[in-house]
Amino acid sequence: MGIMAVRISARRGRHSVGKGDKKLELLARVPLFANLHGRDLERLGQLTDEIDVPAGKVLTREGARGDEFFVIVDGNVRIERAGAALGTFGAGEYIGEIALLDEGPRTATATCETACRLIVIGHRDFHTLLAEQPDIERTLLRTLAQRVRRLEPDSVG
């Protein structure tokens, strides 16, 4: 049973966003979205759903195809790789940015340790936004390039 089961039982909360919106503040803290501002960040916020997820629910399973990104609003999520605990993520932390970009296999299993409130962005909605708003796509590409440069100090160019 995957995240779709969570969505069926979850309280959905897609809505418009505005200045001072906690959701936008959380999205702006995600490194991938850190260079989005104003209308672009608001547009991203409009794609989100807020869901309530029960303790024990598996959000992602290592090796399974993934297509959703999560920001934790409230609660704790345990992260495991190859059966070993890597840590616990809490409010303001995020899971799934790689899958949001490429729908590839999940790199870890994420399980709600407590009841959680999450912000969710789906791959399809995200890529529709990028196709409709090329400025957002360019901003994200620049952000990714900056992150790669920091990871690869010997890179040239």
Q: For residue 150, name the pLDDT band (cuts at 50, 70, 90).
A: confident
Domains and CATH numbers, the chain: 3-150 (2.60.120.10)
Over residues 70-83, the mean pLDDT reads 97
Residue 23 has pLDDT above 80, yes or no: yes
Over residues 71-93, the mean pLDDT reads 96
| Token pair recorded at residue 79 | 């992260």
Residue 114 has pLDDT above 60, yes or no: yes
Q: For residue 99, name the pLDDT band (cuts at 50, 70, 90).
A: confident
| Token pair recorded at residue 72 | 């934790």
Q: String of b and e for 88-114 (b: at least 16 CB within 10 Å)?
A: ebeeebbbbbebbbeeeebebbbbbee
- CA-based torsion, 64, 150, 125, 130: positive or negative: negative
